[in-house]
Copies of this chain bind each other. A is one copy, B any other.
Amino acid sequence: MDQSDLKAPTWQLSERARKLTSSAIREILKVTERPEVISFAGGLPSPATFPAERMREASDRILRDSPAAALQYSATEGYLPLREWVAQRYSINGAQIRPSQVLITTGSQQALDLLGKVLVCVDSPVLVETPTYLGALQSFSMYEPHYVQVPTDEQGLIPEGLTPELIKGARLLYTQPNFQNPTGRRLPVERRRALAEFAKSSPFPVIEDDPYGALDYAGEPLPTMLSMAPDHIVYLGSFSKVLAPGLRVGFIIAPEELIFKLVQAKQATDLHTPSFTQRIVHEVVKDGFLDTHVPTIRELYRNQCDAMLTALERYMPEGVSWNRPEGGMFIWVKLPAGIDTMKLLEEAVAQNVAFVPGAPFFASEAQHNTLRLSFVTVPPAKIDEGVARLGALVRAKI
């Protein structure tokens, strides 16, 4: 066969690309798009919470009043009024955030990519929680770090675990203090203070990734580490969980020196986040809309969380444990040792119910008997039905 007939070119890929393998989970979860599947797998916010009508009005106004600016190339740093809004909103408890500390990103996922670009070299140590957010592992892995897991307990990251040996040479510490994905855990105030103090003299940045912070069911958010050390914490925020994820608008708050480098990296990555979607977000949030909107999301998710906790009590056999989240979108479930949730998923999907196995959330030494349940996309009656099926499957294994 002549080489020119080859349909599939065999081009040499980068080392990082060769390491990318098709995710077994992704393959299994493809079937969860079937309408008959009750999926606790997705981290999709409920579309019932999207303020579509407000967005429609905002889009209309923007394209009528300032079409040239909304449709033109714009500054890599982001739309200035939105940066100012973010700076003001996060200037609380005496902390002063300057607009120059804010970079708008194409979703929070891009913030992770940019931090990887700017901070991580091949084999450099990156500190993550045990377990940690899978999407962060995916982003940082593009820059081929060496992951170091920081010890955690039921309350999240243990600051005392950051021993000199453990943190040696680290380029960053990545943490989600609020309703962590995947465990739903919230870091207590004292630990936040300890970590903020650590950040003040740390030779590497502490990343406070906070997509779920606004979703605390009691409406009593704990102070952010950013508010405790506004010139030392790198804070990642997102409009995905409080407005809508499909707009892909997030932000980084960081010391100007780092923002400066992140802006250069972002310029090489996508020039800027779409001018139009940034303006839509600003138009929707600028007059205090989130203060009335977010409580409705909290209420919805709290009810669905309750429904899932009730169902877990009802259907899960002895030996299965889970946490009771105070906010967010996820419950973390631990099955008796020996049950591999990756195998369980295949059986579950055959029964038209889905979840995400826990193993991929560990940078190393995975706990194979864990799984993540999301309660935000499925209505309460379906939650009961889905958990009942899962409970029966687990019961059959004990």
Residues of A at the B interface (CB closer than 8 Å) are 3-4, 7-17, 20, 22, 43-45, 47, 50, 52-53, 55-56, 59-60, 63-64, 67-74, 106-107, 109-110, 112-113, 117-122, 124, 135, 138-139, 141-143, 171, 197, 200-205, 231-232, 240, 244-248, 255-258, 260-261, 264-265, 267-277
Contacts and interface: CB of A to CB of B under 8 A. Distances in A.
14 contacts: A8-B255, A13-B119, A14-B119, A14-B120, A17-B261, A20-B264, A47-B68, A50-B71, A53-B63, A72-B244, A74-B246, A109-B269, A269-B269, A276-B277
**Most interface-central of A45, A248, A255 (chain B CB within 10 A):** A248
Contacts of A74: 246
Nearest to A49: B71
Number of identical monomers bound together in the oligomeric complex:
2
Given A59-B60, A113-B269, 8 more contacts: A7-B231, A8-B256, A14-B118, A14-B120, A44-B73, A50-B72, A52-B71, A55-B71
Contacts of A275: 246-247
Nearest to A23: B264
B55 A63 contact: yes
Nearest to A15: B121
B118 A17 contact: yes
A13 B72 contact: no
B138 A268 contact: yes
A143 B56 contact: no
A226 B215 CA distance: 48
B63 A52 contact: yes
A134 B264 CA distance: 13
Nearest to A2: B201
A246 B269 contact: no
A205 B71 contact: no
A124 to B, nearest CB: 8
A258 B202 CA distance: 40
Q: Which 9 A-B pairs have the closest CB atoms?
A: A52-B67, A246-B275, A71-B244, A47-B68, A56-B63, A4-B200, A138-B268, A71-B246, A59-B59
A72 B47 contact: yes
A9 B257 contact: yes
Contacts of A260: 22
Contacts of A171: 11-12, 14
A20 B274 CA distance: 24
A271 B10 CA distance: 26
Contact of A246 (B43, B70, B201): B70
Contacts of A8: 231, 255-257
Contacts of A271: 107, 109, 135, 248
A106 B43 CA distance: 22
A110 B110 CA distance: 11
B14 A121 contact: yes
Nearest to A10: B203
Nearest to A271: B109
B9 A246 contact: no
Given A47-B71, A55-B71, A270 B270 contact: yes
Contacts of A268: 109, 112-113, 135, 138-139, 141-142
Given A50-B71, A59-B59, A247-B274, A12 B204 contact: yes
